Amino acid sequence: MKYIIIGAVAGGASTAARLRRLDEHAEIIMFEKGEYISYANCGLPYYIGDVIKDRNKLLIQTAASFNQRFNVDVRTLTEVQSIDNINKSVFVLNQKTGETYMETYDKLILSPGAEPIRPPLPGITLDGIFTLRNVNDTDYIKSFVNQKSVKKAVVIGGGFIGLEMAENLHDLGMQVSIIEMGNQILAPVDYPIAAIVQQHIRSKGVELKLNTAVTGFEKNGDGILVKYNTDQSIEADVVILSIGVKPDTRLLQNTNIQLGPAKGIWVNEFLQTSDPDVYAVGDAIEFENPITHQSMNTYLAGPANKQGRICANNVVMGNKHSYKGAINTAIVKVFDMTVAVAGTASKYLTRGNVPHIVSTIHSGSHAGYYLGAQQMSIQIAFSPEDGTLLSAQIAGFDGVDKRIDVMSSVISRKSTIYELTEFEHAYAPPYSSAKDPVNMAGFVAENILTKKLNIFYWDEFSKISSDDLIIDVRTSDEFAKGSIPNAINIPVDEIRNKLSEISKNKKIHLYCQAGLRGYIAQRILVQTGYEKVSNLSGGYQLWEACTS
């Protein structure tokens, strides 16, 4: 049996290694148009920022070491130029010699990855404008930064890579500006969580311009002038384009292999394309979102590596191992904060007509009486029918990773918020509280589903009538430091003694700093005859972050 793999990074290399473990006697050829295989793509910004100082640590395997261990014929700097899937052959260019030749196959695995988006803006080819996708890009950026004594950096795009680059360039002592065309950074998360992170970025002295599109670039002495759609501009010594990526499907243009509605390579549950002898993995494929059931891409190393293993199983042993799809669990370090997401954000659930409820809490990373506890904000979305957990988003400073992993497991198994309430965690004061933030998120969601808690959201104040009451149940000192317009202050501990001052004929909207005291006040009022009472989800803290 002869297998050909196109692409030798996460998905391709993972497939090749698993193929060899399953079939010692097969002929396996892996083509890679670049110079490197199986490198740590996610570590590239940290090498530029000198967090990772040894470049060789980015190279998980070399072509020689991969061949020695797995007996795979790895051909780097060798580009597959076309595929003839009717005659089961590929046409290849050896970039080192200029030689072109043909190879036949029994089974073909596609892992061409994704390519960075470079819009045709005026001046985009100027020296000093880079994308970051591979090791060569990293070398170019690092060399340019070191040789040019760069002082001003502009990062275009507020996604994961863009924010990692902004942090690393800032840590090198540069003045950094982030330009984002949308109204928030981090498109996979909802606005409230993004707003919390945006405050943190600005606190570091980084300029963050939202709702701003770049229209072009001009040479400006030794630097670059970055022009905006607002008729403004900013000077830069280096520009990092992090606008996004798209599936690299150019090889399929002259084949009958099917693309999907998301413009990726269509695959079935066995990672098999429309040609039964061709499989595909990684950034270039699309599959059904297990939550919205719409076609989607994912550009994450974790799913690509797991797809490679499943693909190899099916290629060798027949289509027996189903791929369940990805819920896009991801995490990113943004200066001192950590932001993580799993599942489908509320804005995309709304777009996909998926009914859901959103709830936000703030909770400590571990016991408050133990030194170093820091707050994290957790937003979840869940089904109003049965509490099925649909998404989780967390922004915090410590312990974010372990909480999102728990949430991810619940989402991927289509389990409910009731599991969160009973989740048994490892507890000691340095690591958690007796009621973990995961439990607390579940408790609040359960209260909502069982009608013990009625919530409203930070962006609904414009809908509140002037006849309604907005009551701030924080202390008078907290109220004096800042409050929501038109609110009156009745601290929660005094509310039982001031019921005569609160009309039962009005709608009452409560809020506190984080949500807990508002909930307690709501329970007091509801059980003493007040019928129209709601509590602000996420409290004043979230409202302030979203409206600042």
**Mean pLDDT value across residues 238-246:** 94
Residue 323 Cα distances to 15, 308, 345, angstroms: 14, 10, 22
- 201, 443, 541: which is closest to 337 by C-alpha? 201
128-181 pLDDT tens trace? 999 998 999 999 999 999 888 899 999 999 999 999 999 999 999 999 999 999
Residue 95 Cα distances to 30, 83, 92, 101, angstroms: 15, 18, 9, 12
* pLDDT recorded at residue 39: 85
Beta bridge partners of 30: 5, 74
Beta bridge partners of 104: 89
> Which residues neighbour 3 within 8 Å (Cβ) at sequence distance 6 or greater?
16, 19, 26, 27, 28, 29, 105, 106, 107, 108, 109, 315
CA distance 546 to 544: 5
- 98, 135, 118: which is closest to 242 by C-alpha? 118
**Mean pLDDT value across residues 91-102:** 97
User: 316: how many CB neighbours lie within 10 A of its CB?
Assistant: 16
**Mean pLDDT value across residues 22-39:** 94
144 within 8 A of 228, measured Cβ to Cβ: no
* pLDDT recorded at residue 7: 96
* pLDDT recorded at residue 530: 96
Relative to beta strand 455-456, strand 533-536 is: parallel
* pLDDT recorded at residue 59: 87
* pLDDT recorded at residue 61: 87
* pLDDT recorded at residue 71: 96
Rg (C-alpha) for the chain, rounded Å, is 27
* pLDDT recorded at residue 13: 95
CA distance 343 to 350: 13
In this model, does residue 495 exceed pLDDT 90?
Answer: yes
* pLDDT recorded at residue 548: 86
User: 98: how many CB neighbours lie within 10 A of its CB?
Assistant: 7
In this model, does residue 38 exceed pLDDT 90?
Answer: no
Give the SS3 label for residue 490. Answer: coil
* pLDDT recorded at residue 149: 84
Q: List the single range of 53-62, 399-408, 453-462, 486-495 with lowest mean pLDDT.
A: 53-62
In this model, does residue 83 exceed pLDDT 90?
Answer: yes
CA distance 3 to 37: 18
Residue 409 Cα distances to 238, 426, 439, angstroms: 41, 17, 14
> Which residues neighbour 38 within 8 Å (Cβ) at sequence distance 6 or greater?
8, 9, 10, 13, 59, 60, 61, 66
Instruction: Kindly report each contact of residues 268-275 with a partner whose C-beta sits within 8 Å and lies 24 or more positions away, as own/partner.
Output: 269/322, 269/323, 270/310, 270/314, 270/319, 270/321, 270/322, 270/323, 271/307, 271/310, 271/311, 271/314, 271/323, 272/314, 272/319, 273/110, 275/85
* pLDDT recorded at residue 60: 86
**Mean pLDDT value across residues 300-321:** 95
* pLDDT recorded at residue 421: 98
Q: What angle do CA 46, 41, 150 make, to 5 degrees?
A: 40
> 359: pLDDT confidence band, cut at 50, 70 and 90?
very high
Give 304-328 as a DSSP string: HHHHHHHHHHHHHH-S---------
**Mean pLDDT value across residues 116-132:** 94
Element (H, E) at 84: strand 78-84
Give the SS3 label for residue 351. Answer: helix
In this model, does residue 203 exceed pLDDT 90?
Answer: yes
CA distance 375 to 397: 7
* pLDDT recorded at residue 31: 97
Give the active site residues.
Answer: 42
User: 49: how many CB neighbours lie within 10 A of its CB?
Assistant: 18
Q: What is the mean pLDDT of the chain?
A: 95
In this model, does residue 287 exceed pLDDT 90?
Answer: yes
**The pair of three-digit structure tokens given for residue 295, joined into one six-digit string:** 């076609």
- The single-letter DSSP state of residue 42 is G
* pLDDT recorded at residue 41: 83
> 364: pLDDT confidence band, cut at 50, 70 and 90?
very high
**Mean pLDDT value across residues 330-358:** 97
Residue 433 Cα distances to 300, 369, 399, 425, angstroms: 32, 10, 12, 9
* pLDDT recorded at residue 129: 95
